A and B are shown apart, each in its own frame.
Chain A
Amino acid sequence: MALDEYKPQKGGEEFETGHDFKYVGTSPDRPDGFDKVTGRARFGADMSAPGMLFAAIVRSPHAHARILRIDTSRAEALKGVKAVVTRADFAGGLSGETWNVLENVMAGDTALYDGHAVAAVAATSALIARDAVKLIEVEYEVLAHVTDVDEAMKDGAPVIRGGAADGSVPEGLHPNVVRYHESGHGDVEAGFAEADLVIEDHFRTEATHQGYIEPHACLASLGSDGRGEVWCCTQGHWNVQKLCAALLGLDTSGLRVTASEIGGGFGGKTTIFIEPVALALSRKAGRPVKLVMSRSEVFRATGPTASASMDIRIGMKKDGTITAADGVFRLQGGAFPGAPMEMTAMCAFACYGLKNVRHVGYDVMTNRPKQAAYRAPGSPMAAFAVESVIDELCEQLGLDRIEVRLKNAAREGTRSSYGPRFQRIGLVETLEAARAHPHYSAPLKPGQGRGVSCGFWFNFGGETSVSLALSEDGSAQLMVGTPDIGGSRASMALMAAEVLGIPYEKVRVTIADTASLGYNEISHGSRVTYASGLATIKAAGDAVQKLCRRAAEKWGISEDAVKWQDGCAVPSGPNAGDFDPLPIAEITASMGATGGPISGHYEATPEGAGVSFATHIVDAEVDPETGKTSVVRYTVVQDAGKAIHPAYVEGQYQGGAAQGIGWALNEEYIYGPDGRLQNAGFLDYRIPVASDLPMIDTVIVEVPNPGHPFGVRGVGETSICPPLAAIANAVSAAAGVRMRHLPMSPPSILAALEKQAHA
């Protein structure tokens, strides 16, 4: 995704305070629940078509290699093989990010990472396709490679692609540094001079994968007439449509894309990998093609998050006032530009009101897969480094961790570290709720440590189009264009029910395909409940206005004299006339004869997504014999603005915390000296399992977002920002040694303990 999409948002329209909700704020059963507990929900790999072929991809075994020759003749001769494609089967003449996407989807002259696709085959069965892959001969000239961010910046490091740097990069840096960012305000050196204590430390986080349980999967059909269809699991099918059309040289509208149920995304399904490959194979073979990734392909060739190397320096007075903050953030995002280093920089100190702040970011290329967004891309690593230093300052100055954060917390009107002044925000409220939570004052057992951290994310609006059609019986069909990753259909139905005044169950929500609505931005940036929700409220309001007009016509009074109340048109006041309330079902029953079908519509690019903050409290226990960490208690406190469906808001809080626990303690991409990924499976890339985790307590703080009619702030991403630091602070306290490199796996904790014992 383009990074500028994550720019902070301007404020929107006024929020009606004191709104009494009937449906919003309740947690009814989700509309897709029945299908999902019975196995009938159709995910990416669950769709088939008559005459369908099965595809498989040939991938580079080298981290960096020139492709000298690809011989497909033996594969093509295998009985059952119907098509083979290479880069030559895709559009030429692309540039910018579209070229980057194609280069990642199918290698050109050079394989840029272990797992990079170089060819693909379609056959009459999956087994034949797999056999055919082995018959495709690729001759490589192996090149020197680099996979570490700091190594890739050093003189003499292998150059991934010369000339990839943009104009932002100062002279004298290695060609692998492709973008540079610097921002801040005040005078940091003067600020450090005012401090009673200045701490400067170096931090590292390893690359982690989003780890969605559903591998990428699609079913594609494309004719030589340029018309095609794709069924796939994606966070944004309009984006799939746009990119696939560009990569195959088609008109965008010639391609219809339907989003299947999606088995997790967390940012990793915001781009394309296999869809254009399946389309190219389908066009060549003249038959539909199904392409499903294996788990090892998901790890090797889809976007993990960036890894980071960071230097943080913070000055504090004895009373806890932060006088200055400075951060340098080096992120590698694989063999392409795009590591979210601006986000890392801009989020790093966003929780605090600072007079003097400076951040510098470097986007560095390495021989790794192209990074993709992962839940608040760039923010969690920044919080890890910054909140660790704040913890150290509190420790050395003998100050309470929450009091210090409250003292410096950003509030309404604070000039943010990244520039704009904050509107109404809820950081102080989350800190106060954390301080008041019994967890914060509960006694710890020997061997345990407690950690606290705050976290910040911008949230996002984006292009949105929604339609709502009323049926004759007064029920409603709502069409939204944002794939439902975590229960958003329930939230949309609640908001539509609230406006229409009809029961939640009377609203059916469908994720429309690309032919049925205008462009909808991807489900990312925690934007769905905010932006599709806002558009749903407006579309329902549009329908209500039309319903009122029909009532006015029936009653022979002015439209302005009718208002909508509890699902009925009613006269707006005693002067409007004396009419019985006219229920929605009575108006819709006769709509064919009173002017035609009634529907509501709304499209916009809303810009009032409110930023959001969270505070997490963690208790961890470290076994000094094995280095193993157990998370024994966890509490998430986060501002939701307004929780539309509280149970699924809690679910987002818990899920973000659990992913953060994995990132902090276990998960990492491990590359060998040969540049190959050594742990491309769930056995060796260990995400948290049920027995690793405690119950995760949640507190929903509601400080309404002025930019949404009901006050919603996105909740999906902020929940992964504090855990890395909160857990590192807890583990450091429990182990008695400061941990500055994630993940804090048992061997790394043992090594830190040993190093300290010998110090």
Chain B
Amino acid sequence: MSSIHVTTQVNGDAVEFLCDTRETLLDVLRDRLDLTGAKEGCGTGDCGACSVTVNGRLVCSCLMLGVEAEGKAIETVEGIAKGEDLHPLQRKFIEHAALQCGICTPGILIAARNLLERNPDPTETEVRYWLAGNLCRCTGYDKIVRAVMDAAEEMREAS
């Protein structure tokens, strides 16, 4: 089967790739663009470890085909920090010990940033429901929720 040529944007950079029509966006990010920050935990959209944003919308990259990235703007965990400066969410996750094994962390950071872009002052319940699509098996979510709330507060004060 011949590959399809795709032109897209990833973390602000113009990117071109060839892929099979059966490859998911996650396959393309990890295997063709060497962006292994997004993880495959299930491949069926249940765990959120592969979360990215596409034109600002939160999606599971395992549920989208690579060819569908044509003309879109994609953001992954690799694009959250600006140079050597971590995003407040990244700093707060480290500070609050909000990760243990860290496999869910990239997806949760992407999802949490997307939440705070829409709702800078979420309640605990809003954080919990927004992150309900991102499974974490290690932490029980307590410190994750605290880190997101604390980052939101810091970002509100800074703005």
Q: Return chain B residues, CB-CB under 8 Å to A125.
A: 20
Q: Size range of the interface on A?
A: 35 or more
Interface mask (B113-136 → A, CB under 8 Å = 1, otherwise 0):
000000000001101110111111
Question: In terms of DSSP, what is the predominant structure of the interface of chain B?
Answer: loop
Out of A39, A46, A690, which one reaches B145, CB within 8 Å?
Answer: A690
Is A486 touching B131 in the complex (CB atoms < 8 A)?
Answer: no
Q: Which of B99-155 contact A (CB under 8 A)?
A: 99-106, 109, 124-125, 127-129, 131-146
Is A127 touching B20 in the complex (CB atoms < 8 A)?
Answer: yes
Is A648 touching B43 in the complex (CB atoms < 8 A)?
Answer: no
The answer to the question of B35 belonging to the interface, with a C-beta cut-off of 8 Å to chain A, is: yes
Is A37 touching B128 in the complex (CB atoms < 8 A)?
Answer: no
Out of A32, A658, A691, which one reaches B139, CB within 8 Å?
Answer: A658
Is A38 touching B102 in the complex (CB atoms < 8 A)?
Answer: no
The answer to the question of A34 belonging to the interface, with a C-beta cut-off of 8 Å to chain B, is: yes
Q: Return chain B residues, CB-CB under 8 Å to A647.
A: 96-97, 143
Out of B39, B43, B80, B124, which one reaches A213, CB within 8 Å?
Answer: B39
Q: Return chain A residues, CB-CB under 8 Å to B125.
A: 691
Query: Smallest Cβ distance from B106 to chain A, in angstroms?
Result: 5
The answer to the question of A173 belonging to the interface, with a C-beta cut-off of 8 Å to chain B, is: no
The answer to the question of B70 belonging to the interface, with a C-beta cut-off of 8 Å to chain A, is: no
Is A38 touching B140 in the complex (CB atoms < 8 A)?
Answer: no
Is A690 touching B132 in the complex (CB atoms < 8 A)?
Answer: yes
Query: Can you name the residue of chain B whose Cβ is closest to the Cβ of A683?
Result: B46
Out of B31, B36, B101, which one reaches A39, CB within 8 Å?
Answer: B36
Out of B40, B78, B143, B144, which one reaches A38, CB within 8 Å?
Answer: B78
Is B129 touching A691 in the complex (CB atoms < 8 A)?
Answer: yes
Interface mask (B46-76 → A, CB under 8 Å = 1, otherwise 0):
1101000000000000000000000000001
Is A37 touching B105 in the complex (CB atoms < 8 A)?
Answer: yes
Out of A42, A127, A487, A689, which one reaches B135, CB within 8 Å?
Answer: A689
The answer to the question of A695 belonging to the interface, with a C-beta cut-off of 8 Å to chain B, is: yes
How far, in whole Å, are A486 and B103 apart by their CA atoms in the complex?
11
The answer to the question of B44 belonging to the interface, with a C-beta cut-off of 8 Å to chain A, is: yes
Closest 3 CB pairs of A and B: A39-B37, A263-B103, A658-B140
Query: Can you name the residue of chain A whose Cβ is closest to the Cβ of B144?
Result: A690
Q: Return chain B residues, CB-CB under 8 Å to A688.
A: 140-141
Is A655 touching B139 in the complex (CB atoms < 8 A)?
Answer: yes
Looking at B94, B101, B109, B134, the one whose CB has the most chain A CB atoms below 10 A away is B101
How far, in whole Å, are A292 and B27 apart by their CA atoms in the complex?
13
Q: Return chain B residues, CB-CB under 8 Å to A692.
A: 132
The answer to the question of A445 belonging to the interface, with a C-beta cut-off of 8 Å to chain B, is: no
Query: Smallest Cβ distance from B73 to chain A, in angstroms?
Result: 18
Is B39 touching A38 in the complex (CB atoms < 8 A)?
Answer: no
The answer to the question of B16 belonging to the interface, with a C-beta cut-off of 8 Å to chain A, is: no
Is A215 touching B40 in the complex (CB atoms < 8 A)?
Answer: yes
Query: Can you name the residue of chain A whose Cβ is closest to the Cβ of B145?
Result: A690
What residues of chain A have their CB less than 8 Å away from a CB belonging to chain B?
Answer: 27, 29-30, 32-34, 36-43, 45-46, 125-127, 210-215, 261-266, 292, 294-295, 485-487, 647-648, 650-651, 654-655, 657-659, 681-683, 687-693, 695-696
Query: Can you name the residue of chain B whose Cβ is closest to the Cβ of A36?
Result: B102
Is B140 touching A213 in the complex (CB atoms < 8 A)?
Answer: no
Is A34 touching B97 in the complex (CB atoms < 8 A)?
Answer: no
Query: Smallest Cβ distance from B92 to chain A, in angstroms?
Result: 9
Query: Can you name the residue of chain A whose Cβ is closest to the Cβ of B148?
Result: A690
Looking at B44, B102, B146, the one whose CB has the most chain A CB atoms below 10 A away is B102
Is B145 touching A27 in the complex (CB atoms < 8 A)?
Answer: no
Is A29 touching B77 in the complex (CB atoms < 8 A)?
Answer: no
Query: Smallest Cβ distance from A655 to chain B, in angstroms?
Result: 5
Given contacts A213-B39, A486-B100, contact A37 B86 (CB under 8 A): yes
How far, in whole Å, are A46 and B35 apart by their CA atoms in the complex?
9
Known: A38-B81, A266-B137, A651-B97. 12 other contacts (CB 8 A): A37-B93, A38-B80, A43-B36, A213-B41, A215-B40, A263-B104, A264-B137, A651-B139, A688-B141, A691-B125, A691-B132, A692-B132
How far, in whole Å, are A213 and B137 apart by their CA atoms in the complex?
7
Given contacts A42-B36, A127-B23, A213-B41, contact A651 B138 (CB under 8 A): yes
Is B140 touching A36 in the complex (CB atoms < 8 A)?
Answer: no
Q: Return chain A residues, CB-CB under 8 Å to B143.
A: 647, 650-651, 654
Given contacts A29-B95, A681-B46, contact A690 B102 (CB under 8 A): no
Query: Can you name the residue of chain B whose Cβ is closest to the Cβ of A261?
Result: B102
Q: Return chain A residues, CB-CB under 8 Å to B156.
A: none
Given contacts A39-B76, A486-B101, A690-B145, contact A215 B41 (CB under 8 A): yes
Query: Smallest Cβ distance from B56 to chain A, in angstroms?
Result: 19
Out of B101, B106, B141, which one reaches A693, CB within 8 Å?
Answer: B141
How far, in whole Å, are A14 and B39 apart by their CA atoms in the complex?
46
Interface mask (B76-91 → A, CB under 8 Å = 1, otherwise 0):
1110110000100010
Is B86 touching A654 in the complex (CB atoms < 8 A)?
Answer: no
Q: Return chain A residues, CB-CB under 8 Å to B106.
A: 39
Q: Return chain B residues, CB-CB under 8 Å to A45.
A: 30, 36, 39-40
Is A682 touching B100 in the complex (CB atoms < 8 A)?
Answer: no
Query: Smallest Cβ distance from B10 to chain A, in angstroms?
Result: 12
Given contacts A264-B138, A687-B135, contact A37 B94 (CB under 8 A): yes
Is B23 touching A211 in the complex (CB atoms < 8 A)?
Answer: no
Is B37 touching A690 in the complex (CB atoms < 8 A)?
Answer: no
Is A654 touching B142 in the complex (CB atoms < 8 A)?
Answer: yes
How far, in whole Å, are A681 and B62 apart by their CA atoms in the complex?
14
Is B144 touching A43 in the complex (CB atoms < 8 A)?
Answer: no
Is A212 touching B137 in the complex (CB atoms < 8 A)?
Answer: yes
Is B94 touching A34 in the complex (CB atoms < 8 A)?
Answer: yes
How far, in whole Å, are A266 and B139 apart by their CA atoms in the complex?
12
Q: Return chain A residues, CB-CB under 8 Å to B37.
A: 38-40
Query: Smallest Cβ distance from B39 to chain A, in angstroms?
Result: 7
Query: Can you name the residue of chain B whose Cβ is closest to the Cβ of A45?
Result: B40
The answer to the question of B42 belonging to the interface, with a C-beta cut-off of 8 Å to chain A, is: yes
How far, in whole Å, are A639 and B140 apart by their CA atoms in the complex?
19
Is A690 touching B131 in the complex (CB atoms < 8 A)?
Answer: yes
Query: Can you name the residue of chain B whose Cβ is closest to the Cβ of A46?
Result: B36
The answer to the question of B22 belonging to the interface, with a C-beta cut-off of 8 Å to chain A, is: yes
Out of B39, B97, B142, which one reaches A263, CB within 8 Å?
Answer: B39
Query: Can you name the residue of chain B whose Cβ is closest to the Cβ of A694?
Result: B142
Out of B23, B100, B109, B128, which one reaches A690, CB within 8 Å?
Answer: B128
Is A682 touching B44 in the complex (CB atoms < 8 A)?
Answer: yes
Query: Smallest Cβ distance from B140 to chain A, in angstroms?
Result: 3
Is A648 touching B97 in the complex (CB atoms < 8 A)?
Answer: yes
Given contacts A295-B43, A651-B143, contact A264 B127 (CB under 8 A): no
Query: Can you name the residue of chain A whose Cβ is closest to the Cβ of B103?
Result: A263
Is A36 touching B105 in the complex (CB atoms < 8 A)?
Answer: yes
Q: Return chain A residues, CB-CB under 8 Å to B135.
A: 213, 682, 687, 689
Q: Return chain B residues, CB-CB under 8 Å to A261.
A: 101-103
Q: Return chain B residues, CB-CB under 8 Å to A33.
A: 93-94, 99
Query: Smallest Cβ distance from A570 to chain B, in angstroms?
Result: 35
Is B105 touching A27 in the complex (CB atoms < 8 A)?
Answer: no
Query: Smallest Cβ distance from A640 to chain B, in angstroms?
Result: 15
Is B42 touching A41 in the complex (CB atoms < 8 A)?
Answer: no
Is A39 touching B35 in the complex (CB atoms < 8 A)?
Answer: yes
How far, in whole Å, are A486 and B101 apart by their CA atoms in the complex?
5
How far, in whole Å, are A485 and B137 apart by their CA atoms in the complex?
12
Query: Smallest Cβ distance from B133 to chain A, in angstroms?
Result: 8
Out of A42, A43, A654, which one reaches B140, CB within 8 Å?
Answer: A654
Query: Smallest Cβ distance from A612 to chain B, in angstroms?
Result: 19
How far, in whole Å, are A32 and B131 apart by their CA atoms in the complex?
23
Is A690 touching B134 in the complex (CB atoms < 8 A)?
Answer: yes
Out of A32, A294, A681, A693, which one reaches B102, CB within 8 Å?
Answer: A32
Q: Return chain B residues, CB-CB under 8 Å to A681.
A: 42, 44, 46
Q: Return chain A residues, CB-CB under 8 Å to B104.
A: 213, 263
Is B103 touching A264 in the complex (CB atoms < 8 A)?
Answer: yes
Q: Return chain A residues, CB-CB under 8 Å to B99.
A: 33, 36-37
